[in-house]
C-alpha cells in the first residue's frame, strides 16, 4: 500500500467512503471516516479520462500552493501585544502545522529548558523504511525524544533528516509559537504552546499532468493535506490536548462554495471539542485571475479574453454556472482559429488540435459537478499559444444569468497570464470558502489598510467570507538557517489568528473556563469582539466582520 501512495505509477483519486463499493477491485487508503484515496494505475488514464465514468472532476485531488511570500530583508513591524492580565501564552495547547515542514534546529522552536517545542514531525517525503505514524502507511514519524537527541548531536540530520527546503512551514510555525528574540524584535503569539508537524509531499506528476499543471510547479495534493490534518488530530487526541490547525495553503480550483472534500473535512474538524481550524483567504485579490460575467438575452454571446504569457504552456481554466442555467462555450485562438460552441454533456471530453498553432485543448463541458450540482466547464491547455484567447459564453436557456471563471492560483501560472477584464471579487481560495473554519484576510498594520493582494469574498453562492482580517504585511518571522526575515500574505494573517485561537482554547479548555469550547465557537467570539469602524458596513467582502481583536473578545466576555 505504501508504494502505491508514493509511487508515480499510480494516480491518486479522492472519493467519499460511501461510494467505495463501486471500486471493489481498486486498493484504497482511508483518510478519515469521510474520505479515502484510491490508487489507480496511471496506465489506465489519459487526459480525457477526467470526467468519464467513475472519475468525475471532483475525485481528482485539488492542488494547493503556498499563501505567503518570505523576504530575507528584516522588517521592524511590531508583533501583536498580548494583554498580560490573562497570561495566555498557549500553555497546554498544540499547534498543528500542515505545510512544507519545519527547520527544527531553529532557536525559535526551543523551549525554556533548551529542548524542542516540537512534539513530533510526520515527514511524508521520507519513505526509506523508517516508522510511519500509527494508522498511516507512508512517510516517517520523528518523536520529540529523537528531535531532542538530534539537537544535541554534532550531525542532527543523521538522526532526524526532516528539513524545510522552502521555509514556509517554518515561518507559519514561528509566527504562531516561536520563542521570543528581543534583538530581532520577534515573538510568536503563543510561545508556550507546542507544535506537531505534518510535512507534505509534493503532488504526484501524474496528478499534475491530468490537470495540465507543469511538472516543475510546486504544489500539494488535497488528499495529502487531509492526511496531515488527520495526523495532527491523532496526536492531539493521544495527548488529550487542545489543538489549533493552521492551513496557509490555497487553491482556485473547485466551485468556491465550500463543497470540496478538504473544506468539508475541515468543517467537521472545527466542530470537534477543543479543536480550532484557521485558513487563509488567499492572495488572489490583485492577480487578475477571476472573471465575472453575465449572459445576454436573445441568444447573444458574452465574451471574455485571456492574455496568455509565453511562460505558461500548461494550465487550466474553470467556468462555473449555477443551476438551473446551462452554458455553451466557443473559442477563438490568438491566430483567429475558431472552435464552434461546445454544449454540456454528462461525460464527453473534447480534444482540440489547432491547425495554425501547436496548442491542444481538452474541454469538459460537464452539465453538473457531482459535489455542487452546478455546471462546470473545464478547459485544459497543453503547449498554449502566447497571445489573446477569446471565449464566448451563451446561456442555452436564452435568459440572463451570472457565471464565474477562474485561472489557477499561486505559482501555478505566471503574472503574464490573466483576464483582460478581471474582477477581484469572489477570489477567496479553497479551503477558505468552508463555512465553519475561521477564514482570515490580511491588512497592513502600518497603514491600517487591507493588503492589495488579499482575496475578496463572497463565496460563489453568497456566503460571507472572509470572516476577519489580521496583520499580514511585512511581519517578522523565523527563516531558514537560524535567521529572521519578513513575510507577507494571508497565510501570515492566518498564523497570527491561529495563535489567538490557541489563547482562547487555553482560556476555555486548559483553564476550564468553558470546557465545551470548539473552533466554531471561537470564531463566533472573535467575530463578536472584532474591531469595527463606524464608517464601514459589516460584514463585507473585503474585511468580513472586522479586524481580529483578542482584547475586544475578552472585554465582551467580561462585560
Give 513-544 as a DSSP string: S-TT--HHHHHHHHHHH-B--TTS-SSBTTTB
Residue 122: half-sphere exposure toward Cβ, Cα within 13 Å: 27
Whether the per-residue pLDDT at 460 is higher than 60: the answer is: yes
Question: Looking at residue 394, what is its pLDDT?
Answer: 94
Distance CA 308, CA 35 (A): 36
Distance CA 243, CA 126 (A): 25
Residue 525: half-sphere exposure toward Cβ, Cα within 13 Å: 25
Three-class DSSP category at 38: strand
* Cβ–Cβ under 8 Å, residues 41 and 10: yes
Three cell numbers, residue 45? 488514464
Distance CA 372, CA 381 (A): 24
Question: Looking at residue 85, what is its pLDDT?
Answer: 58
How does pLDDT run across 128-174, given as a tens digit for each residue? 989 999 999 999 999 999 999 999 999 999 999 999 999 999 999 99
pLDDT band at 202, cuts 50/70/90?
Answer: very high
Question: Looking at residue 82, what is its pLDDT?
Answer: 38
Over range 479-498, report the average pLDDT.
95
Whether the per-residue pLDDT at 495 is higher than 60: the answer is: yes
- Decide: pTM greater than 0.75: yes
Three cell numbers, residue 388? 489573446
pLDDT band at 497, cuts 50/70/90?
Answer: very high
Question: Looking at residue 33, what is its pLDDT?
Answer: 81
Distance CA 233, CA 96 (A): 8
> Which strand ranges, in their side-by-side order, compose the sheet holding 315-321?
290-294, 402-406, 315-321, 375-382, 360-366, 349-353
**b/e 461-490 (16+ beta carbons within 10 angstroms → b):** eebbbbbbbbbbbbbbbbbbeeebbbbbbb
Distance CA 47, CA 354 (A): 17
Higher-confidence residue of 77 and 328: namely 328
Whether the per-residue pLDDT at 76 is higher than 50: the answer is: no
Question: Looking at residue 298, what is its pLDDT?
Answer: 67
pLDDT band at 468, cuts 50/70/90?
Answer: very high
Over range 495-524, report the average pLDDT.
96
Whether the per-residue pLDDT at 191 is higher than 70: the answer is: yes
How does pLDDT run across 248-265, given as a tens digit for each residue? 999 999 999 999 999 999
Question: Looking at residue 72, what is its pLDDT?
Answer: 43
Question: Looking at residue 263, what is its pLDDT?
Answer: 96
Higher-confidence residue of 219 and 18: namely 219
Three cell numbers, residue 192? 508556550
Could you list the beta-strand ranges (E) of 159-240. 194-199, 220-221
**b/e 106-144 (16+ beta carbons within 10 angstroms → b):** bebbbeeeeebbbbbbbbbbbbeeeebbeebebbbbbeb
Amino acid at each position: 500500500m505504501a508504494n502505491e501512495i508514493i509511487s508515480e505509477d499510480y494516480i491518486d483519486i479522492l472519493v467519499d467512503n460511501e461510494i467505495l463499493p463501486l471500486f471493489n477491485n481498486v486498493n484504497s487508503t482511508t483518510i478519515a471516516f469521510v474520505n479515502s484515496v484510491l490508487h489507480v494505475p496511471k496506465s489506465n488514464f489519459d487526459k480525457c479520462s477526467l470526467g468519464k465514468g467513475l472519475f468525475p472532476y471532483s475525485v481528482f485531488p485539488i492542488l494547493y500552493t503556498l499563501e505567503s511570500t518570505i523576504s530575507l530583508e528584516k522588517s521592524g513591524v511590531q508583533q501583536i501585544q498580548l494583554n498580560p492580565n490573562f497570561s495566555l501564552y498557549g500553555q497546554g495547547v498544540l499547534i498543528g502545522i500542515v505545510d512544507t515542514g519545519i527547520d527544527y534546529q531553529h532557536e525559535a522552536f526551543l523551549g525554556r529548558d533548551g529542548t524542542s517545542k516540537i512534539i513530533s514531525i510526520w515527514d511524508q517525503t521520507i519513505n526509506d523504511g523508517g516508522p510511519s505514524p500509527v494508522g498511516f502507511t507512508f512517510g516517517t514519524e520523528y518523536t520529540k525524544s529523537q528531535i531532542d537527541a538530534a539537537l544535541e548531536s554534532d550531525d542532527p540530520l543523521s538522526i532526524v533528516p526532516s528539513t524545510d527546503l522552502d521555509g514556509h512551514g517554518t515561518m507559519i510555525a514561528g509566527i504562531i509559537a516561536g520563542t521570543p528574540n528581543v534583538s530581532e524584535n520577534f515573538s510568536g503569539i503563543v510561545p508556550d504552546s507546542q507544535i506537531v508537524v505534518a510535512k507534505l509531499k509534493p503532488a504526484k506528476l501524474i496528478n499534475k499532468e491530468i490537470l495540465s499543471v507543469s511538472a516543475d510547479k510546486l504544489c500539494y495534493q488535497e488528499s495529502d493535506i487531509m492526511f496531515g490534518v488527520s495526523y495532527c488530530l491523532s496526536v492531539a487526541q493521544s495527548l488529550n490536548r487542545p489543538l489549533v490547525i493552521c492551513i496557509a495553503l490555497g487553491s482556485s480550483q473547485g466551485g468556491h462554495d465550500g463543497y470540496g472534500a478538504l473544506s468539508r473535512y475541515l468543517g467537521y474538524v472545527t466542530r470537534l471539542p477543543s479543536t480550532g481550524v484557521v485558513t487563509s483567504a488567499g492572495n488572489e485579490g490583485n492577480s487578475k485571475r477571476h472573471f465575472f460575467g453575465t449572459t445576454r438575452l436573445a441568444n447573444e454571446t458574452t465574451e471574455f479574453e485571456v492574455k496568455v504569457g509565453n511562460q505558461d504552456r500548461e494550465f487550466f481554466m474553470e467556468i462555473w454556472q449555477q443551476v438551473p442555467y446551462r452554458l455553451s462555450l466557443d473559442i477563438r485562438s490568438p491566430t483567429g482559429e475558431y472552435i464552434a460552441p461546445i454544449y454540456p454533456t454528462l461525460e464527453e471530453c473534447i480534444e482540440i488540435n489547432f491547425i495554425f498553432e501547436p496548442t491542444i485543448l481538452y474541454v469538459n463541458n460537464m452539465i453538473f459537478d457531482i459535489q455542487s450540482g452546478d455546471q462546470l466547464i473545464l478547459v485544459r491547455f497543453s503547449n498554449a499559444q502566447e497571445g489573446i484567447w477569446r471565449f464566448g459564453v451563451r446561456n442555452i436557456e436564452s435568459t440572463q444569468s451570472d457565471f464565474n471563471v477562474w485561472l489557477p492560483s499561486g505559482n501555478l501560472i505566471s503574472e503574464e497570464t490573466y483576464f483582460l477584464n478581471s474582477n477581484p471579487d469572489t477570489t477567496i481560495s479553497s479551503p477558505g470558502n468552508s463555512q465553519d473554519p475561521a477564514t482570515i484576510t490580511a491588512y497592513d498594520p502600518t497603514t491600517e489598510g487591507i493588503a492589495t493582494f488579499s482575496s475578496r469574498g463572497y463565496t460563489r453562492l453568497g456566503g460571507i467570507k472572509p470572516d476577519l482580517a489580521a496583520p499580514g504585511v511585512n511581519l517578522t518571522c523565523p527563516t531558514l538557517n537560524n535567521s529572521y526575515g519578513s513575510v507577507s500574505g494571508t497565510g501570515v494573517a492566518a498564523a497570527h489568528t491561529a495563535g489567538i485561537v490557541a489563547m482562547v482554547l487555553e482560556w476555555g479548555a486548559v483553564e476550564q473556563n468553558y470546557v465545551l469550547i470548539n473552533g466554531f465557537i471561537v470564531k463566533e467570539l472573535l467575530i463578536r469582539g472584532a474591531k469595527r469602524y463606524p464608517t464601514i458596513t459589516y460584514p463585507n467582502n473585503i474585511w468580513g466582520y472586522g479586524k481580529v481583536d483578542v482584547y475586544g473578545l475578552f472585554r465582551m466576555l467580561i462585560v
